[in-house]
Amino acid sequence: MTTRQVCDRWFTTQQVEEGLYLITEPHYYWYNRANLWLIKGQDRDLLLDTGLGVASLRQHIAELIDKPLLAIASHIHFDHAGGIYEFEERAIHTAEAQALRDGDAHEALCTQPGWIDIDHFELLPHSGFTVEQYKFHAAEPTQILQAGDVLDLGDRALEVLHLPGHSVGCIALYDHRSRSLFAGDVIYDGELLDELHCSDIPAYCQTYERLQKLPVEMVYPGHYQQFGTEKYQQILGEYLDRRRQPGCPREVHSEHNS
């Protein structure tokens, strides 16, 4: 059995541009390592996604927070919503609000084989950490998100887009002025997971048909690197071409093992 050391710091923070920070968990498996986006506004701040919840994200970002903060889960999966219980103000789409209230480990993927694995931790978040003790914490949403909601930060506004497919409650945040999309797991430049028990390929196709018509200049995704218009349209087109092929499944109930 490999003995893993405890890390000095679990999170890293990179300033992407004025008022926008990318936070990651660099000692966790790259394949499932989420991007957490801190968007600072004039009147309030937003945190889109909160990581695994194995170390205190709230404490890590404390020096960056000087106004009210709303933590948002782009969807219920543990790598995105695991730390949301730490925050006083927290939001999720209505379709997955009950799962967050219940701390539903099944919907968060924590009970699925292969997702919570000690080999995915290059270093440990704290002394004595084991995957057996990992828990997806229940948290009462203080705000229920619906499609079309506008989150006003004072000097910028972000519209909530409900974009199911990866899971039933997946959302993205869209800035009409800059044409920026904070995409969660709806779209990223990597293997798109659409065969989870909570996934729906026809819904994913409908989502991507909608997104093809949305003017986007920059995507800030839930995994991997950010990208622009050309890559955005390429990913959308390639997925639709693949999933529209004759014989492709119309409904999916299988589970994905990473």
Question: In degrees rounded to 5, what are phi and psi of residue 53?
Answer: 85, 20
pLDDT of residue 253: 35
**For 192-230, how does the pLDDT look when each residue is reduced to its tens digit (9 = 90+)?**
999 999 999 999 999 999 999 999 999 999 999 999 999
pLDDT of residue 4: 86
Other beta carbons less than 10 A from residue 213's beta carbon: 6
pLDDT of residue 45: 97
Residue 246 scores a pLDDT above 80: no
**For 4-35, how does the pLDDT look when each residue is reduced to its tens digit (9 = 90+)?**
899 999 999 999 999 999 999 999 999 999 99
- Alpha-helix residue ranges (DSSP H) falling in 61-125: 78-81, 97-102
Is the distance from CB of 160 to CB of 171 less than 8 angstroms? yes
Residue 118 scores a pLDDT above 50: yes
Give just the sign of the alpha carbon dihedral 106, 108, 114, 119.
negative
Pair type for strands 45-48 and 69-72 = parallel
Give the DSSP H/E element, type plus range, for residue 183: strand 180-184
Is the distance from CB of 115 to CB of 52 less than 8 angstroms? no
Q: Which of 180, 175, 146, 139 is nearest to 163 (CA)?
A: 146
150-152: strand order across its sheet: 150-152, 157-162, 171-175, 180-184, 218-221, 227-228
**Where residue 245 falls among pLDDT bands split at 50, 70, 90?**
low
**For 27-62, how does the pLDDT look when each residue is reduced to its tens digit (9 = 90+)?**
999 999 999 999 999 999 999 999 999 999 999 999
Token pair listed for 33: 């390592």
Give the range among 66-70, 106-110, 245-249 with minimum mean pLDDT: 245-249
In terms of Cβ atoms closer than 10 Å to its own Cβ (0-12, 13-18, 19+), residue 214 is middle
160: left (phi over 0), alpha (psi -120 to 50) or beta: beta
